[in-house]
Amino acid sequence: MIKTDVCIIGAGPSGASTSLMLSKMKINHYIVDKSTFPRDKTCGDGLILYAYKSLLQLDQNLFKAFLENPKFIHSKTIKLHINDSLNVNIKESEDRDMVITYAKRFDFDYFLVSHLSKKYANSEFGNGVKKIIELDDGILVKLKDGKEILAKIIVGADGVNSIVSRKLADNKPNKKLTSTFVNAYFKNVTGLPKTNDAEIRLVYRKTPLFFYVFPLADGSVNVSLGARTDLIKKYDINLLDEIKSIINSHKKVAHKFKNASIIGLWRGWSIPFDFNSKKVYGKRFLLVGDAAGLTNAFYKEGVGTGMMSGIICAKKIALSLEKGDFSESFLATYQNDLNNEFSRLLRFSHLMVRMARYKYFFASMVLILKNYFYKKIPSIIKRKSY
């Protein structure tokens, strides 16, 4: 049996960021993932706000390496199309470099994992978790190959279907607070802006569907469509049929895909935004990223919030180890720490999602508040970004 202070389950961006921060604080730990890296991961492949802030807090040299990595594209503009005649252009100020980055998760997750500390982080990749058992002196993590890790505290960084969340927090999925998406990669998409603007469209089919077109460094394009899971079921929406219809017949989109062809297959994934409706801490465990439901409900990005939650989690773990206290009551302030960082942004995103369900009302509100929004957005980006 391996004994360690900390065991992180999941080496995606939230788990890797937890590890990087623990290493920065010179805390030995194990990080476990069922996959070996690089590995594929279905995602929209867009990074904003907290992804930058997290990289800077972890290591300025890491942020510099991110900026210089040829596999990542940075853009200063996001175009949110409320309808075919109304859009909101979210632009970074002239003195700053980007508001969004496009990075395949295959590349970005490996970028983070490749920077894990060789001194403080012991990695156990390609070996998934079979069982978690609560003992008097820690949490026993049993791996698929029979290896056992006993940790004083564990971190659930294992995504929407987190075993830590299910077994230790007894959390259940909430379809009203989950989005379902489909996506595929395409080649030979034409007519894209040379400035690599992100294209996001609301397409209404009784409920708003969120349609994304993100260009990637290898010349391909990530095309995604999704909506709230329960409403997809309620209105009998076939996301695959809908996204094919958009790229084949939408008057603002179809011409770009006239000569395009799909790379690989259509894929689907779930995005939880159920933070504050689930337990994210308990005796000897903390949850981060998708396991904690920290995706933004409106623009569906969870990598950055996941990374920042990993940093916050690592700092809480350091205090717990210093005090020798792994009780639920001691770890309860982790919830407050997450709220202090994310609650305003996440509450606003939930409000936006509710408003967006009412097509004409939402468009009217956007039109009225557009200029006010343009004045506020630079300062918001700066606070939540780099």
Q: What is the pLDDT of residue 56?
A: 96
Segment 86-93 shows an average pLDDT of 90
Q: What is the pLDDT of residue 119?
A: 97
One-letter amino acid identity for 91?
Answer: K
H/E element holding 178? strand 178-187
373 — pLDDT class (breaks 50, 70, 90): confident
Q: What is the DSSP letter of 211?
A: E
Query: What is the DSSP code string of 298-311?
Result: TT---HHHHHHHHH
Q: Compute the distance between CA of residue 12 and CA of residue 169 in angstroms, rounded to an integer.
A: 20
| CA distances (Å), origin 8, targets 105, 107, 115, 198, 371 | 19, 21, 16, 33, 44
The residue type found at 307 is M
Question: In the 8-state DSSP scheme, what is residue 37?
Answer: S
pTM: 0.95
Please report where in the chains the tokens 């049993």 appear, as a residue: 142
- Domains (range + CATH), the chain: 2-70+104-173+274-370+377-384 (3.50.50.60), 175-272 (3.30.9.100)
Distant-in-sequence, close-in-space partners of 159: CB < 8 Å, separation ≥ 6: 10, 12, 289, 290, 291
Banded pLDDT at 199 (limits 50, 70, 90): very high
User: In this structure, how many other beta carbons lie within 10 angstroms of the beta carbon of residue 365?
Assistant: 15
CA distance 150 to 358: 51
Residue holding tokens 């076939």? 238
Each residue of 241-275: pLDDT tens digit?
999 999 999 999 999 999 999 999 999 999 999 99
User: Among 262, 300, 291, 51, which residue's Cα sits nearest to residue 181?
Assistant: 300
CA 318 to chain centre: 24
User: Which pLDDT tens digit goes with each residue over 225-246?
Assistant: 999 999 999 999 999 999 999 9
- Distance between CA atoms of 318 and 37, rounded to whole angstroms? 27
Say if residue 384's pLDDT is above 90: no
